[in-house]
Structure 1
Amino acid sequence: MKRILLAAAAVISLGLPVFAGEQYIDGTGYAVSGYDVVAYRSLPQSTVGTSQPSGVPGKSSLTAEHNGATFAFATEANRAAFLSDPDYYAPQYDGHCAYGVSKGGKVPGNPNLWRIVDDKLYLNITTVVNGFWEEDIPGNINLAEGNWPGIEPNNASGNKIPNFTSSAPD
């Protein structure tokens, strides 16, 4: 009887929504420093080991709320796309650095150090860290996925992104 109850509880819990932790928010007050998370999907992705194009800043007049944070968008079409499936467009690990999560910590993600892998947006904190992450992207994602459930409930990072000056969307 005990096993049946435990199995039923497991099945029921699998049907419950998974809630993300606190989104990383910098001094702009916006998720991803006010950059348009939908726009990354239309940017050309550089080969591993080379710099990605810079992210696209959003506008303060085009925003949406998700995961307790305000996201900004460059166009109304991007805002509409986000609203149709915010989890698809939002960065992994609540906007924290993918490599940092692979190492078991929460540090900010830089919106200009990004990569889309298996249709998911990942951010990293510095170019050096991004280089480490790119040495073994699948391995680092695997480590991060294993670490995330244990660190996800922790408060969002209060750290600042080094060598990055963010400004609130216009």
Structure 2
Amino acid sequence: MPTQFRSSRRSFVASAALMALASLTLPDLAHAYDEQSTSALNVDANGIALKGFDPVSYFSPSGPVPGKAELFAKYEGATYQFASSQNRDTFSANPAKYTPAYGGFCAMGVALEQKLDVDPQLWRVVDGKLYLNVHKGAQTRWLEDVKGNLAKAEKNWPRLKDKAPKTL
């Protein structure tokens, strides 16, 4: 095969691989948060919190699982979905226990004075409260000093909660 064609083929294969990788890292627009919203809740365009993950499942040994659209409960302006009717009933009995801190925005982001979206599979329950992070790097940084980052986030949240993420 002539060198020119091998080079073109390699470029094509590299480009295709890069595009495939990019498609895996692009956010799911159905679950995108609104950077212009001044809501204190991180919900999608349909008001779904936690990108549809079951909030009660974060407190179980197996960890978070996606909820089902037909099993839901509303709380303080957000719709939460559940994997089972038992989890929905558990949530309904004490919703404040299961809702994520900082309206479901990234805990490390709030410590850094930002309202960032989250990856619902990057989480920790600390002292009975659910905290989420935007990516592995943020979670690593959060876990390096949970107590200190929590103190910063608690101080920042009242000032940030009603601001649009884009303005921060």
TM-score (norm 2): 0.71
Matches within 5 A, 1:41-120: 41-43=59-61, 55-120=64-129
- The one-character-per-residue Cα deviations of 1:15-52 (angstroms, maximum 9, x if unpaired) are xxxxxx531113675100000000111135xxxxxxxx
- The one-character-per-residue Cα deviations of 1:117-151 (angstroms, maximum 9, x if unpaired) are 00000000000111111110111001100101111
Q: Distance in 2 between matches of 1:112 and 1:27?
A: 20
Q: Distance in 1 between matches of 2:72 and 2:78?
A: 10
SS at match of 1:80: helix
- What one-letter code is carried by the residue in structure 2 that aligns with 1:39? S
Give the stretch that moved more between structures: 93-102 or 76-85: 76-85
Which protein is bigger by CA-based radius of gyration? 2
Deviation at 1:79, TM superposition (A): 0.4
| Structure 2: unaligned runs, 5 residues or longer | 1-38
- Note if 1:31 corresponds to 2:49: yes
How many residue pairs get aligned? The number is 128
Deviation at 1:67, TM superposition (A): 1.8
- What one-letter code is carried by the residue in structure 2 that aligns with 1:34? G
- What one-letter code is carried by the residue in structure 1 that aligns with 2:85? E
Q: Distance in 1 between matches of 2:41 and 2:149?
A: 21
Q: Which runs of 4+ in 1 moved over 6 A?
A: none
Greater RCO structure (CA 8 Å; 6+ sep):
1
Q: Distance in 1 between matches of 2:127 and 2:51?
A: 23
RMSD of equivalent CA atoms: 1.6
Higher helix share: 2
- What one-letter code is carried by the residue in structure 1 that aligns with 2:113? G
Alignment partner, residue 14 of structure 2: none
Say whether the 8 Å CA contact 1:22–1:68 is kept in structure 2: no
Q: Distance in 2 between matches of 1:27 and 1:131?
A: 29
Give the stretch that moved more between structures: 25-34 or 82-91: 25-34
- Note if 1:141 corresponds to 2:150: yes
| Structure 1: unaligned runs, 5 residues or longer | 1-20, 45-52, 159-170
Say whether the 8 Å CA contact 2:47–2:77 is kept in structure 1: no
TM-score (norm 1): 0.71
Q: Distance in 1 between matches of 2:45 and 2:120?
A: 14
- Identity level (%): 41
Q: Distance in 1 between matches of 2:48 and 2:125?
A: 21
